[in-house]
Chain A
Amino acid sequence: MQPTTHKLQWLVVIVCLFWPVDGLATQAHAGIEGVWVHQFAHVFFLFSMGLLIFWLRQAELVKLPGWRYIQYAALFFILWNLDAILVHLLDEQILAVTVNTIGPWHIRINAAAGRDWLATVYYLAKLDHLLCVPAMVCLMLGLRHMLQENRRSQSDGRLR
Chain B
Amino acid sequence: MVTVSSFPIWFVDVVGSVLMIVFTFVSLGYCLELKKNEPTDIIIINYLLWVCVALAVFAISRSAGHLLKQIFLLSGHQALWTATQPFSGAINTFTFIVVASVTLFFERTWAIYGTILKDRQALQTAHEELIYLNQNLEGLVEERTEALAISEQKYRRIFEVSRDMILVTRTDGRILNINPAGKQLCGLSTASDSAIEGQLFQNYLSGPDDWKNINQHIENRGFISSEEFDLLLEDGSHRRVLLSGSLAKTPSEEGETIHFLVKDIEQRRLMQKQMAQADKLASIGELSSGIAHEINNPLGIILGYTQLLLRGEDPQSDRYNDLKTIEKHVRSCKAIVEDLLNFARTSHPHKEQIDIHAVITDVVHFVRHHSNLENIQIETALAPKLPSVLMDEKKIKQVLINLLMNAIHAVGRSGTIRIATGTNTAANRITVEVADTGHGIAKENLPRIFDPFFTTKPTGEGTGLGLSVSYGIIKGHGGHIIVKSEPDQGAAFTLSLPVSPAIAER
Q: Among the listed B12, B17, B51, B101, which residue makes an inter-chain contact with A130, where contact means beta carbons less than 8 Å apart?
A: B12
Total interface residues in chain B, CB < 8 Å: 48
Tell yes or no: B100 within 8 A of A by CB. yes
Total interface residues in chain A, CB < 8 Å: 45
Contacts known (A55-B107, A107-B6); A133 close to B96, Cβ less than 8 A: no
- Chain B residues with Cβ under 8 A from A101's Cβ? 6
Are A119 and B1 in contact (CB-based, < 8 A)? yes
A123 and B7 alpha carbons, distance in the complex (Å): 11
A140 and B23 alpha carbons, distance in the complex (Å): 7
- Chain A residues with Cβ under 8 A from B27's Cβ? 136, 139-140, 143
Tell yes or no: A137 within 8 A of B by CB. yes
Are A111 and B20 in contact (CB-based, < 8 A)? no
Are A116 and B1 in contact (CB-based, < 8 A)? yes
A105 and B5 alpha carbons, distance in the complex (Å): 6
Are A48 and B99 in contact (CB-based, < 8 A)? yes
Are A123 and B100 in contact (CB-based, < 8 A)? no
Tell yes or no: B295 within 8 A of A by CB. no
User: Residue of A at shortest CB range from B59?
Assistant: A136
Are A44 and B97 in contact (CB-based, < 8 A)? yes
Q: Among the listed B6, B92, B93, which residue makes an inter-chain contact with A105, where contact means beta carbons less than 8 Å apart?
A: B6
Tell yes or no: B13 within 8 A of A by CB. yes
How distant is B52 from chain A, measured CB to nearest CB, in Å? 8
Are B1 and A114 in contact (CB-based, < 8 A)? yes
Are A150 and B34 in contact (CB-based, < 8 A)? yes
A120 and B4 alpha carbons, distance in the complex (Å): 9
A114 and B24 alpha carbons, distance in the complex (Å): 40
Are B34 and A143 in contact (CB-based, < 8 A)? yes
A47 and B51 alpha carbons, distance in the complex (Å): 15
Tell yes or no: A37 within 8 A of B by CB. yes
- Chain A residues with Cβ under 8 A from B2's Cβ? 108-109, 111, 116, 119-120, 123
Q: Among the listed B6, B33, B96, which residue makes an inter-chain contact with A44, where contact means beta carbons less than 8 Å apart?
A: B96
A52 and B101 alpha carbons, distance in the complex (Å): 11
Are A147 and B30 in contact (CB-based, < 8 A)? yes
Residues on A lying within 8 angstroms of B by beta carbon are 34, 37-38, 41-42, 44-45, 47-49, 51-52, 55, 101-102, 105-111, 114, 116, 119-120, 123, 126-130, 132-133, 136-137, 139-140, 143-144, 146-147, 150-151, 154
Other contacts beyond A107-B3, A129-B17, A143-B34: 12, CB < 8 A: A34-B86, A44-B96, A45-B96, A48-B104, A106-B6, A107-B4, A107-B5, A126-B9, A136-B59, A143-B52, A146-B34, A150-B34
Residue contacts A-B, CB under 8 angstroms, 17 given: A41-B94, A41-B100, A42-B96, A44-B100, A45-B96, A48-B104, A51-B103, A51-B104, A106-B3, A120-B2, A123-B2, A128-B16, A133-B23, A136-B27, A140-B27, A143-B27, A150-B37
